[in-house]
A and B are shown apart, each in its own frame.
Chain A
Amino acid sequence: MRYMTNNMDLMEEAFNHLHEKDPIHPMRCDIEETSKAVIVDVDVPSFKKENLKVNFNDDVLTISAAKNEEEQDTNYLLKERVHQDLERKFYFGDYELATEEISASYKNGTLHIVLPKKIKKDETVYISIR
């Protein structure tokens, strides 16, 4: 199963996909939840770091990528790659996240976003001894 939906309700998919053969959003993502954070990895190959934007507002994480590329009159023998601006949104309303501490890094075409969870007041936090 390629589409796995948990209690994380995804308010995307109101998007006309470029390729009907490919039902997955062109920004492929993996989402993983650990006890401390939610980790989102998004593939945005060929986009430059300067042209990527990540923001978190009203429980929605928005990732947008601008191509800034002038299409030349090239003679394509094969054209499968995405040649347009992309955007994808994820709803995180079911999580209590420490929004101030969200961090993102970009390497080899993959955007790695860490959304740390808020530590609850009544929760015991174990600190490891070095």
Chain B
Amino acid sequence: MKYNPVRSNLFTMSDLFDDMFPSVESHMKTDIVEYEGGYKLTMDLPGYKKEDIEISMKNGNLTIQAEHNNSEEEKDEEGNIIRQERYVGKCSRSFYVGDNVDIEKIDAVFKDGTLSIELPHIQKEEVEDKTIIDIG
């Protein structure tokens, strides 16, 4: 954190919380784009593997959860940490997308540390109102 002489004297509750729980906005950076047929969500999850990510939908809420599984990671030697900015651990973020999303057609791809999710709207089938009645 940058040194700020004014701020350093004011130890606020929010500073305390910021350090204890880094905000999801800082390590699950997300873009959401609305297009004609639905939403497209793009989230940065660098360092995670595809298997570490879980996406779920419930009551119109889309939840993305990621957790590092370090079990297989090879570590020869415990080094001296000089700098640590990357977030390691479990994180989760939810977005309310509403009921107008076709759950069956949600498509997710994870590539180069970025998760892309397509959430198409439910296509309302155009019901033909016209009923032709044959004249007997």
Contact = CB atoms under 8 A, between A and B. Distances in A.
Given A78-B30, A108-B113, A34 B79 contact: yes
B118 interface: no
Contacts of B43: 81
Interface stretch (B31-39, B56-64, B127-135): B31-39
A30 B33 CA distance: 31
A80 interface: yes
Interface residues of A, number: 44
Contacts of A24: 26, 85
A44 interface: yes
Q: Is the interface of A mostly helix, strand, loop or mixed?
A: loop
B2 interface: yes
Q: Is the interface of B mostly helix, strand, loop or mixed?
A: mixed
Nearest to A36: B77
B48 to A, nearest CB: 6
Nearest to A106: B112
Contact of B25 (A28, A34, A75, A80): A80
B112 A45 contact: yes
Contacts of A122: none
Interface residues on B, range: 35 or more
Contact of A77 (B39, B45, B46, B49): B39
Interface of A: 1-6, 8, 21-25, 28-36, 38-39, 41, 43-49, 74-82, 106, 108-110
Given A6-B83, A8-B82, A77-B32, 19 more contacts: A2-B1, A8-B83, A23-B1, A28-B87, A30-B84, A45-B44, A45-B46, A74-B33, A76-B31, A78-B31, A80-B25, A81-B42, A81-B44, A106-B112, A108-B50, A109-B44, A110-B47, A110-B86, A110-B113
Instruction: Give 10 closest A-B pairs by Cβ, nearest first.
Output: A109-B113, A109-B46, A45-B113, A43-B46, A46-B114, A34-B79, A45-B44, A45-B46, A32-B79, A31-B83
18 contacts: A2-B85, A24-B26, A29-B83, A30-B84, A30-B85, A31-B83, A33-B80, A33-B81, A43-B46, A45-B44, A48-B112, A77-B33, A78-B32, A79-B31, A80-B29, A108-B46, A108-B49, A110-B113
